[in-house]
Amino acid sequence: MTIKRLFLVSVCVLFSILSSAQGRYSTRLLENGTMLFFNPCKLVAMQKETSLVYDMTYLTNSDSVTVNMTYTAQDLHVSEVRIVSGTAAYQTANYSIFYREKEKKGIATRIHISCPKNTYEDLFLSDTPMRIEIVSKEGGVRSFTYKKTKWVKERENILEAIALLK
Amino acid sequence: MKKILGLLAVGAVFVFSSCTSVAPVAATSNPVGSKCGVATETKILGIYPLEGDHGINKAAKAGGIKKISHVDVETNSILGVLYVKKTTKVYGE
């Protein structure tokens, strides 16, 4: 097979993979409202040997949004979590740990935080890709963010999903 | 031109033979919970796992869920076995 044909076939396969990607969120009816669950999203690490995957749960009958994240690094202890986008920011040392597990690439820590709903929605109004920062007790800061093109689509999806519930 | 159209037709076959489905796994008598946890397994050619564990326990731990209300599994596949991604979603409190 020539290189040109191989390239065209690869593009067709890649397109099919992208077009079959699962939906960004799912909804559930609860006794007192509706739950919107945004599927896990892996952010781009701005330093080596770390990774962060996060998901969000938005409840119409709550004042806060639940953000759960799996942070994998050599660091063991988390001091603070920050979420920043443009001029909007949220930081908290009030988090809980669901579990810590040893993995090939380091220690995976499952972190849970609650962010006030208004602050959280403001984070998706900015053109600047959102950044999640994990501050360790040793003082190091690990940053994770979106690629610009992915942020544009993400903002659109999330704001649209939230608007549909209001 | 004919070759390009042929390749596009092949691509269309790939697109229409990929699918996403959601199936129930379990439901309990607990009320629908406000928490959700997810675990994913991805395989290529049915044998090579890119991510390995989509069990209920892993999904429940990910969501901090101690009382399960119901469990669904979402399957995304291309040509059946070429690429398969299974996501278990656990809902509860």
Domain boundary assignment for chain A: 24-165
Residue-wise pLDDT tens digits, B4-57: 777 776 666 665 566 788 899 999 999 888 999 999 998 887 776 666 788 999
Confidence of residue A21 (pLDDT cuts 50, 70, 90): very low
3-state secondary structure chain A: CCHHHHHHHHHHHHHHHHHCCCCCEEEEEECCEEEEEEEEEECEECCCCCEEEEEEEEECCCCEEEEEEEEEECCCCEEEEEEEECCEEEEECCCEEEEEEEECCEEEEEEEEEEEHHHHHHHCCCCCCCEEEEEECCCCEEEEECCHHHHHHHHHHHHHHHHHHC
Q: Which residue has the higher pLDDT, A25 or B50?
A: A25
pLDDT tops 80 at residue A1: no
Q: Can you give the pLDDT at residue A134?
A: 95
Confidence of residue A80 (pLDDT cuts 50, 70, 90): very high
Pick A39's closest partner by Cβ from B4, B18, B38.
Answer: B38
Residue-wise pLDDT tens digits, A46-72: 999 999 999 999 999 999 999 999 999
pLDDT tops 60 at residue A77: yes
- Separation CA B65–CA A99 (nearest Å): 12
Q: Can you give the pLDDT at residue A125?
A: 92
Query: Which alpha helices (H) appear in chain B, and where do they start and end?
Result: 2-16, 56-63
* Backbone dihedral angles phi then psi of residue B61, each to the nearest 5 degrees: -65, -40
Q: Which of A37, A54, A56 is nearest to A45 (CA)?
A: A54
| B14 vs A contacts (CB less than 8 Å) | 12-13, 15-16
Min Cα distance B92 → chain A (Å) is 11
pTM for this predicted structure: 0.82
Beta bridge partners of A66: A57, A114
Pick B64's closest partner by Cβ from A13, A70, A112.
Answer: A112
CATH architecture of the domain formed by A24-165:
Sandwich (2.60)
pLDDT tops 90 at residue A155: yes
pLDDT tops 50 at residue A22: no
Confidence of residue A113 (pLDDT cuts 50, 70, 90): very high
Total residues belonging to chain B: 93
Asked if the Cβ–Cβ distance from A15 to B11 is below 8 Å, we say yes
Residue-wise pLDDT tens digits, A4-15: 666 666 655 555
Q: Can you give the pLDDT at residue A5?
A: 67
Mutate to test the interface with A, among B1, B2, B15, B72 (most CBs of A within 10 A): B15
- Separation CA B29–CA A77 (nearest Å): 38
Q: Can you give the pLDDT at residue A20?
A: 39
